[in-house]
Amino acid sequence: MGLWYSISGVLALLLLVLIGVGGIRLYSVFGIFIPYLAVILFIFGFVYRVLKWASSPVPFHIPTVSGQQKSLPWIKADSIDSPYTTGGVVKRLALDILLFRSLLKNEKVELEAPHRLLFRTSTLLWLGAMAFHWSLLVVVLRHLRFFLEPVPSALVVLQRLDSILQNLMPIIYISDVILLIALGYLFFRRVIYPQVKYISLPSDYFVLLGIAGIVISGILMRLIYKVDLVQVKEWIMAMLRFRPVSPKGVNLFFYVHLFFVSLLAAYFPLSKLMHMPGIFLSPTKNLRNTSRNDRHVNPWDHEVKVHTYDEYEDEFRDSMKEAGVPVEKE
Amino acid sequence: MSEESVKDKPLKIDYTPPAKSWLEPAVDFRKGNYGYPASSKHEMYLGLENPREWHPPEKDWKLPKDWKEIILKGMEDRLSRYRSFRLFLDICVRCGACADKCHFFIGSGDPKNMPVLRTELLRSVYRKYFTLSGKVFGKLAGARELTEEVLKEWFYYFFQCTECRRCSVFCPYGIDTCEITMMGRELLNLVGCNINWVVEPASNSYRTGNHLGIPPHAFKSTIDFAIDEIKEITGIDVEVPINRKGAEILFISPSADYFGSPHWYTFLGYLLLFHEIGLDYTWSTYASEGGNFGFFHSADLAKRLNAKIYSEAKRLKVKWILGGECGHMWRVIHQFMDTFNGPAEFLEEPVSSITGTHFDNAKSTKMVHICEFTADLIKNEKLKLDPGRNDKWKVTYHDSCNVSRGMGLLEEPRYILQNVCNEFYEMPDNTIRERTFCCGSGAGLGSDENMETRLRGGFPRANAVKYVQEQYGVNLLSCICAIDKATLPPLLEYWVPGVEVAGVHELVGNALILRGEKERTTNLRGEPLAQGEPLDSPA
């Protein structure tokens, strides 16, 4: 059910931009106003959400330990999965953020017989997630060339590497191809695997379809409905100088591309996409497993009612004396 | 009884999700799958909210009139006090990596036992009342109205989570369902919905010092009984000090150790060990429970119960604290105690008076795990051990969730086991260490009325035990958790008959050669020793 809501939602938005630009020619709405608004919503929303998390304290020291603790000197401690130094925590986070190490541990459980389990390593999700996020990063980095003047040489190198196959095919970026395949995988696993389908919400499909809209319109602009990139860059530079003009020499696909980017940017802070900054704050990941040697203070710690020893002895004094257990008051 | 009906027909496990969306709340309180509600007597003793008599399958839960406001206010309060809570509600992408990591899902196939959906039960309400997208898009954004049906679902599923943290290991963001379950239970508490196997033990611990409600004279007589039993088995008179001021060490263990079976043999093991090394220590009747059932209720109740440990250490003027074999007790001690009730400045940094080892890892909390302590003794060759006395057993080791994922105590018990028994076999890698499977009965679920849930939740663990039983003939599952010791025997009897359960220090006690002991003819269970006995060869 969620799937169809999302598909129709994305199609409606597509129609909106097609009519808005192609039909009633609202160039400055879609070319200036919406992108500005989206950037503002993105920045403020993003910062607001992160500050909101940061404003809630971490009352207890709760790292998820996944390796041997540092205890006796002759027992080898796991410096990453049970980090005991800040360096260890950084490594643990870096491995998770850059290589999705936790997903790499994934395994699938199946019933081999009615009461017999089979564990299979399952790296497909890891592969799909890695392919998706890394190719997305390359695509985003490539786009920086529109925002920077002069274009840094590192970006030029990245672009060259990414288009290394162009001798064989029309100018196509490797990252685009991988991104599309990965998106397809992430989308279809939500449709095909019954359990993943069961947990998926309309917003889960919506995000994937929205990104697909961006990628497909971008690829079409590159391959078939070419736009004048010099004009695009001029439009961006003007936007950055706050002297906006509507882009010229561009076709409808550019507006579709831009509209979906704006949508996703504005939606980002409202959505699960906030997992990007969130992981840095995750208290199960970013704390050292040194809970017994470094005291952790709870900022909202409050007094609680306790049953004191005196109260206890008052109730059980006779019993204690009978048993010959020492008491405070005879 | 539910237990019998479960045993009659084999449990069916089916992973196909139902046709109906999870957003429609639906919960069927079938016998064997839920815990009885907390008795009002114990709720009142602890001063908890809304004490009353009620029963989950009944329609009317006798909630306070403004229950919804209470819950939503409680939620807002906790969102501002726990970063974990707010963050974990916000950042899940529903990738599904956690889905088949939960023992309750693996054993039941109920999709709401997938960690992601267990959290969605709460997250959906969070969205509705606390997020813009949920307020605007409603159901499309996965937002749900808080209704009594939803509350009932919370009760059902937050008491079908043992707070074992296995999902957290596999989650790319470390989302820990334990944190969510703890918050879910705190919210349920606000309107008086908790189970008796949490509240009664907590109330007993509060009043008598231990969860079984044992008064001091009964505690003393059980210790005397142990002394007699040790005399019979070893010929040695051990001394067991109680509430002794000025001892070097306060020893705290779960109370089941001195009242439960097979915990009892671990208890004998401790006493033998402490006698042999001449440990200057004491037991306490006031703090005669290491386990903390308050932890399954709320942070506040956990703190109220935990306070006894430091307060008793102070009164008895000990230097540091040693803790026995227990799972969640160690999660509380390792990750919470210092924050709850520290700093323990009146104590000293723990040093083993026998080996001189400084336990640097416990510098602030000043409490050492008995496996750390014993491993250090063995490494320094302070113990004479005859592993042959455990030859009756082919041993495997079950990592308890809390000491593995809440602490990282993985190698110490293994080192001990390798020194006290000759045949030790690991279960498959997917089921041990940080990936260990819960017994299915922790976090207050270890009562009889929810036996079906327990058997289902324990299925993955039992399945791994079955594997080593078939492969290597394993007949003993060792562990260091009191709840494991209490709940694994019926579990294994159902799934893997022929495998017994023992604490690591029971095996230490068997292997330990005491100065001046008579020749042992039985192990601590009173069973004839397999080795060195002319009348052996039982097979």
| Inter-chain Cβ pairs, chain A and chain B, closer than 8 A | 317
Confidence of residue B534 (pLDDT cuts 50, 70, 90): very low
Contact of B247 with B241, CB cutoff 8 Å: yes
- Asked, as a colleague might, if the bond just before B216 is cis with ω within 30 of 0, I would say no
Q: Is the ipTM of this complex over 0.90?
A: yes
The pLDDT of residue B535 is above 50: no
Share the mean pLDDT of chain B: 95
Residue B539 has pLDDT above 90, yes or no: no
Q: Please identify every stretch of chain A with a pLDDT value under 70, giving residue numbers as ranges.
A: 1, 167-170
Q: Name the 3-class secondary structure at A174.
A: helix
* pLDDT tens digits, one per residue of B66-87: 999 999 999 999 999 999 999 9
Distance from CA of B232 to the nearest CA of A (A): 23
According to CATH, the topology of domain A2-303 is Fumarate Reductase Cytochrome B subunit (1.20.950)
pLDDT at B81 (0 to 100): 98
Over residues B436-462, the mean pLDDT reads: 96
**Quick check: B533 pLDDT over 60?**
no
pLDDT value of position A89 = 98
Locate the chain A residue with the closest alpha carbon to B366.
A292
pLDDT value at position A167? 67
**Span B390-409, pLDDT tens digits:** 999 999 999 999 999 999 99
Which pair of structure tokens corresponds to residue B444?
């207050």
Are the Cβ atoms of A202 and B216 closer than 8 angstroms? no
Residue A8 Rama label (left phi>0; alpha psi -120 to 50; beta)? alpha
Chain B: closest CA distance from residue A115 (Å) = 8
Q: Identify which of B274, B109, B74, B95 has the alpha carbon closest to the alpha carbon of residue B186.
A: B74
Chain B nearest-CA residue for A59 = B82
Mean pLDDT of B511-534: 87
What pLDDT is attached to residue A149? 85
Kindly report, residue by residue over B196-236, the tens digit of the pLDDT: 999 999 999 999 999 999 999 999 999 999 999 999 999 99
Query: Within an 8 Å CB–CB cutoff, is residue B94 touching chain A?
Result: yes
* pLDDT at residue B538, as a whole number: 42
Mean pLDDT, rounded, for B499-509: 98
Nearest alpha carbon to residue B240 among B502, B474, B231: B231
Interface test with B, best of A46, A80, A282 (most B CBs within 10 A): A282
- Does B343 contact chain A (CB < 8 Å)? yes
Chain A nearest-CA residue for B48: A305
HEC assignment per residue over A114-151 = CCEEEEEECCHHHHHHHHHHHHHHHHHHHHHHHCCCCC
Q: B132-177: per-residue pLDDT in tens? A: 999 999 998 999 999 999 999 999 999 999 999 999 999 999 999 9
B-chain CB neighbours of A58 within 8 Å are 82-84
Identify the residue among A58, A199, A205, A297 best suited for mutation to test binding to B, counting B beta carbons within 10 A and taking the highest. A199
Question: What is the DSSP code string of A203-221?
Answer: HHHHHHHHHHHHHHHHHHH
Residue B414 pLDDT level (bands cut at 50, 70, 90): very high
Contact at CB, A196 and B245, closer than 8 angstroms:
no
pLDDT at B1 over 80: no
Averaged pLDDT for residues B498-507: 98
Question: Which has the closest alpha carbon to B277: B420, B373, B367, B417?
Answer: B373
Q: To the nearest whole percent, how much of chain B has pLDDT over 70?
A: 97
Q: How far is CA B229 from the centre of its chain?
A: 28
- Global confidence as pTM: 0.95
Residues of A in contact with B282 (CB under 8 A): none
> Is residue B52 over pLDDT 60?
yes
- pLDDT attached to residue A9: 94
B355, burial (CB in 10 Å: exposed 0-12, middle 13-18, buried 19+)? middle
Which residue type is seen at B453? Answer: T
